[in-house]
């Protein structure tokens, strides 16, 4: 149980790093006279830096162990939080967020690796589903906490609270007994060569890359939701936080359903159902997304629900295609997911089309690509 709690804490780092300060984005726009796109650079560069360092932390953990990489990452994250709180301009905030991202990547990259190290088979699938139930509590509660802090203290306090919330994870890692796994050998070049092995694993690469696109609509929602609800629909920061929490509730309920359905329903059937649900949610967004808060929130709830159902099953399917270099494989999966996220969040902030329309289109794209990948692969074989 302590290991499961630690994995859940580590998996929550990306949401902790981002969702708590989303209600402050309009405040930062006014404070520094910045545009939506400029303020969203603090999201974009976070996810770009986060994604890059995932690829570094993963093979480092395969070579030197999970624990030292995790300790270093959490300490870097806490340093980044303090730098964010001290920022005096959007440029300083973006740079501080990059430091924060460097550390958060260590936690996020190794959450899946630890799940692979410590659990197997159906138990791992259920553990991933339980993680999916708990982790969405962070995006449910974080914007609410951020909105509350904005009412009583400065936006800077949001980052100080993030620093404090990282302490339990640091304590858990310090007490962690290094799990047994097959370590790699050699220096940096040897570690990089392990990625060539992963690139040659066709089932792994096709599934990891295609399923990363499934989150396109969800991440574009994260990047555009504050502007949609607060600027577009005229809601308060606190009302926005409640709608954001409603969306995260869908993600959590989806993972809870997955933990129940995975016992009596085949993974392929579950994936087909969830992808069909995602497509319906994206189509509904195109029709009702611009019609008011509930017209936007309800289709997005459906998207989050089916995404939450799909993630534990698809992640387990991808992890089953690798036996070595699990840290690197976990890093590539998370890298692809958040790289897609960073790009989609910036796309939705550019004003190319109404934001609900873009979110709906990106959701549909993230449904079609995984379906095509599954069709091309047939039934992915487990690589031994």
Q: List the single range of 128-132, 195-199, 338-342, 363-367 with lowest mean pLDDT.
A: 128-132
Phi, psi of 290 (to 5 degrees): -95, 10
pLDDT of residue 305: 93
| Predicted TM-score of the model (pTM) | 0.70
> Sign of the C-alpha dihedral, residues 195, 67, 50, 75?
negative
Neighbours of 21 (CB within 10 A): 26
- Read off the pLDDT of each residue in 128-156 and give the average, rounded to a whole number: 76
Of residues 146 and 132, more confidently modeled:
146
Q: For residue 188, what pLDDT is reported? A: 65
pLDDT at 128 over 60: yes
pLDDT score at 359 = 94
Query: In the predicted model, what is the mean pLDDT of residues 260-277?
Result: 84
Name the residue with higher pLDDT: 324 or 134: 324
Burial environment of residue 240 by CB neighbours within 10 A (0 to 12, 13 to 18, 19 or more) = buried
* More reliable by pLDDT, 132 or 383: 132
Q: Is 166 a residue whose pLDDT tops 50?
A: yes
Is 205 a residue whose pLDDT tops 70?
yes
Specify the higher pLDDT residue, 188 or 274.
274
Higher pLDDT, 78 or 119: 78
Least confident of 72-76, 107-111, 152-156: 107-111
Q: What is the pLDDT of residue 73?
A: 93
Relative orientation angle of helices 156-165 and 167-175, to the nearest 10 degrees: 20
Does the pLDDT value for residue 354 go beyond 80? Answer: yes
DSSP state letters, 34-89:
--HHHHTHHHHHHHHHHHHHHHHHHHHHHHH-HHHHHHHHHHHHHHHHHHHHT--S
Average pLDDT, the chain: 84
pLDDT at position 27, please? 86
pLDDT in the model for residue 383: 40
What is the per-residue pLDDT for 299?
95
> Quick one: pLDDT at residue 19?
79
**Confidence at residue 384, expressed as pLDDT on a 0 to 100 scale:** 37
> Which pLDDT band, with edges at 50, 70 and 90, does 253 fall under?
confident
On the question of pLDDT at 101 being above 70, the answer is: yes
State the Cα–Cα distance between residues 124 and 106, nearest whole angstrom: 21
Give the mean model confidence (pLDDT) for residues 221-248. Answer: 86
Q: Which percentage of the chain shows pLDDT scores above 70?
A: 91
């Amino acid at each position: 149980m302590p290991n499961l709690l630690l994995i859940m804490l580590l998996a929550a780092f990306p949401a902790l790093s981002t969702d708590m300060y989303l209600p402050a984005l309009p405040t930062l726009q006014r404070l520094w006279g910045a545009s939506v796109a400029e303020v969203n650079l603090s999201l974009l560069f976070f996810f770009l830096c986060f994604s890059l360092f995932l690829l570094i932390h993963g093979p480092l953990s395969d070579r030197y162990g999970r624990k030292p990489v995790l300790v270093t990452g959490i300490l870097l994250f806490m340093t980044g939080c303090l730098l964010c709180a001290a920022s005096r301009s959007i440029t300083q905030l973006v740079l501080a967020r990059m430091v924060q991202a460097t550390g958060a990547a260590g936690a996020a990259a190794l959450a899946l690796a630890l799940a692979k190290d410590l659990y197997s088979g159906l138990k791992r699938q259920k553990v991933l589903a339980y993680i999916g139930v708990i982790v969405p509590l962070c995006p449910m509660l974080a914007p609410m906490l951020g909105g509350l802090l904005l009412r009583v203290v400065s936006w800077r306090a949001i980052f100080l609270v993030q620093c404090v919330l990282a302490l339990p994870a640091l304590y858990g890692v310090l007490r962690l007994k290094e799990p047994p796994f097959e370590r790699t050998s050699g220096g940096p070049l040897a570690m990089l060569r392990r990625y060539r092995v992963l690139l040659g694993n066709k089932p792994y690469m096709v599934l990891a890359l295609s399923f990363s696109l499934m989150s396109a609509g969800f991440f574009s929602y994260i990047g555009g939701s504050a502007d949609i609800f607060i600027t577009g629909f005229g809601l308060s920061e606190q009302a926005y936080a409640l709608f954001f929490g409603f969306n995260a509730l869908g993600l959590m309920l989806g993972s809870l359903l997955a933990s129940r359905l995975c016992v009596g329903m085949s993974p392929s059937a579950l994936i087909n159902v969830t992808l069909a649900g995602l497509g319906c949610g994206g189509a509904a967004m195109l029709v009702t997304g611009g019609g008011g808060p509930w017209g936007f929130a309800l289709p997005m709830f459906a998207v989050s629900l089916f995404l939450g159902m799909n993630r534990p099953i698809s992640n387990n399917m991808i992890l089953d295609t690798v036996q070595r270099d699990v840290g690197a494989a976990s890093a590539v999966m998370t890298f692809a997911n958040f790289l897609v996220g960073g790009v989609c969040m910036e796309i939705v902030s550019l004003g190319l089309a109404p934001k609900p329309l873009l979110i709906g289109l990106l959701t549909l794209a993230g449904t079609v690509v995984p379906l095509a990948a599954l069709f091309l692969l047939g039934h992915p074989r487990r690589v031994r």
